[in-house]
Structure 1
Amino acid sequence: MRERVLVVGASGFLGREVCRRAAVGRQVVGTYHSGDVAVPGVAARRLDVTDRAAVRALVAEVRPDAVVSTPYRYDDWTVTADGAAHVAVAAAEVGARLVHVSSDALHGGRAEPYGDDEPPSPVNAYGAAKAAAETAVRAIDPGAALVRTSLILGEGSKQIELCREALAGRVTLFTDMIRCPVDVTDLADAVLELVDGTYAGPLNVAGADAVSRADLGLLVAERFGLDAAGLKTTTCAAAGLAGPGDVRLDCTRAAGLLRTRLRGVSEFLAR
């Protein structure tokens, strides 16, 4: 087990869960830019990932055995793309194992599921930033694991809150925007397995079920006993949305590689 882990982006939903689970039996340092880490046993350090010198200095000081890179900002290229490159450079300089968290947003959408090794095909700025991040990380550290994941669910997740807003009639969900939602605890456990392993390159790590955002809203209504009558839905085309529609990830490789079982959305929402 790699005992000293640096989690970059530990104030985020996934980063905080990785810290929480890694803190059992490991030394963990978690970085934040805004917000806080607030995980018992985790040393919190403020970091601006767009400042290359600051990233290098912190990693050189901490000297982790492994780095988990989770930071992103939907509308900020410098955080999502440049920040990922800065973290990869710093991790490589100290010889740390790097697990970079990527996204299904780098795919453009199609009728067939995407395999692990398929090249990015972004159709919006965020997807392009995530694709650029992967390209930089792979060039800097060919041994890094790149986790391509989907919508991250769990108590307090923004995806659950979006569904609640839609059920209240305040926002609209898409019937043809299909993803493979993953429970945050499953994803965090998978990331930590990869921290201790040697897998290199892209790996799809997402939930077992493919559902539309509209169907996810219905599942959330059922789970929390909410009235689904007010749910507002539309299609991507009707909304004039340029983002990816049907993006399903084939996680067969991850299922054979990892001990962590990636549950379907119906299963973990039923808890």
Structure 2
Amino acid sequence: MTLLVVGASGFLGAEVCRQAVAAGQRVVGTWHSAAVAVPGVAARRLDVTDRSAVRALLTEVRPDAVVATPYRYDDWTVTADGAAHVAAAAAEVGARLVHLSSDALHGGRPTPYRDDDVPTPVNAYGAAKAAAETAVRALDPGAVLVRTSLIVGEGSKQIQLCRDALAGRAALFTDELRCPVDVVDLAAAVLELVPSGYAGLLNVAGPDPVSRAELGLLVARRLGLDPAGLKTTTSLATGRQHPTEVRLDSSRAASLLRTRLRGVTELFA
């Protein structure tokens, strides 16, 4: 089996590559600004905003499956248009597509979001992720769209942000709730979905909803750092347009997958 990982130099993409290589799969991984550093991966540079380049690469590689992880927070052409280009090319060559989406397309509410809940974005990034889903579902109805949350693990941006806040170099929000998931668990779930017959939307996140500030305290406990220096703030105080309470109900994924999605209270115990 040949697996193409689009965005293989990213945090999740690299872990997907590592696990796929370990399982004996032939893996081709794309990168744009940072080279792929996973042994055993055939690295190819790709600009997902270039539709013809995406089509040419998939036509050449002819992958059995594609895992699409690329995004850029402030760039619609990468997050939305790039997803559409990958979906169109995957459908054209008959490759199974697993598209990574985000809880950022929800605006926030007190009750959990189900797998099929309609996006309610409150900022440009959330709108781009919602547009990406619309394109993928139209171009490749057989694709699985994984809505996930904050991705944690050794070397993650989320853990570094917590470290910075504990050192007073950044601030963590007390009013933004998420359901963090470990990168190893998420990558395993993604690879498990590749040979499955599942199509459509699927929440794949941890079971524990925590604020970013609470995550910072858990990181402090896990790393033996002093929590007294944790710097916090609120979205209201900063004037940022960000989703607030976004709890993903991942019970469907839990029933479908062998992979156990661990919560942060277990991960940072």
* 1:207 paired to 2:198: no
Number of the residue aligned with 1:91: 90
Give the Cα–Cα distance (whole angstroms) in 2 for the partners of residues 233 and 239 of structure 1. 11
- C-alpha separation in 2, matches of 1:241 and 1:248: 19
What SS is found at the alignment partner of 2:244? coil
- Structure 2 Cα separation of the partners of residues 240 and 47 of structure 1: 36
What are the Cα deviations for residues 103-134 of structure 1, in whole angstroms up to 9, with x where unaligned? 00000000000000011100000000000000
Q: Give 2:5's match in structure 1, choosing from 4, 7, 17.
A: 7
- What residue number does 1:254 align with? 253
> 1:62 — aligned with what?
61
For the residue of structure 2 that corresponds to 1:197, the secondary structure is coil
Paired residues of 2:176 and 2:212 also in contact (CA < 8 A): yes
CA deviation after TM superposition for structure 1 residue 30, in Å: 0.3
Quick one: distance in 1 between partners of 2:6 and 2:37? 14
Aligned equivalent of 2:234:
235
Name the structure 1 match of 2:36: 37
Q: CA RMSD in A?
A: 0.7
Residue in structure 2 matched with residue 47 of structure 1 by the alignment? 46
Determine helix, strand or coil for the equivalent of 1:23. Answer: helix
In 2: Cα distance, 1:269 partner to 1:20 partner: 23
Structure 1: distance between partners of 2:36 and 2:256: 30
CA–CA distance in structure 2, aligned partners of residues 23 and 85 of structure 1: 27
Gaps of 5+ in 2: none
- Are the aligned partners of 2:19 and 2:187 in contact in 1 as well (CA < 8 Å)? yes
Is the 2:3–2:27 contact (alpha carbons within 8 Å) kept by the matching residues of 1?
A: yes
**Number of equivalent positions:** 268
Task: Give the residue type in structure 2 aligned to 1:208.
Answer: P
Q: Partner of 2:227: helix, strand, or coil?
A: coil
Deviations 1:225-249 (A, max 9, x none): 1111111112222222211000000
Alpha-carbon distance between aligned partners in 2 of 1:83 and 1:200, rounded to the nearest angstrom: 20
Distance 1:188 1:135 in 2: 23
Partners of 1:96 and 1:158 in 2: how far apart?
31
Identify the residue that residue 266 of structure 2 maps to in structure 1: 267
Equivalent residue, structure 2, for 1:17? 15
* Aligned equivalents of 1:212, 1:188: Cα separation in 2: 23
Structure 1: how far apart are the matches of 2:268 and 2:25?
Answer: 29
- CA deviations 1:205-231 (Å, max 9, x no partner) are 001110000000000001111111111
Runs ≥4 in structure 1, deviation > 2 angstroms?
A: none
TM-score by length of 1: 0.98
Q: Percent identical across equivalent pairs?
A: 78
User: Is the CA contact 2:176–2:245 (under 8 Å) kept in the aligned structure 1?
Assistant: yes
Q: Distance between the aligned counterparts of 2:7 and 2:234, measured in 1?
A: 33
Counterpart mapping for 1:66-81 below 5 A = 66-81=65-80
Q: CA deviation at 1:269?
A: 2.3
For each residue in 1:38-84, what CA deviation from the matched residue of structure 2 results, as whole angstroms up to 9, or x when unmatched? 11111000000000000000000000000000000000000000000
1-structure distance, mates of 2:106, 2:199:
20
- Offset at 1:266? 1.7
Give the Cα–Cα distance (whole angstroms) in 2 for the partners of residues 179 and 257 of structure 1. 22
The letter of the residue matching 2:155 is G
Is this contact kept in 1: 2:143–2:200, CA < 8 A?
Answer: yes
Answer yes or no: is the 8 Å Cα contact 2:221–2:268 preserved in 1. no
Per the alignment, residue 161 of structure 1 pairs with 160
What's the TM-score, normalizing by structure 2?
0.99
Work out the CA distance in 1 between the residues paired with 2:239 and 2:245: 15
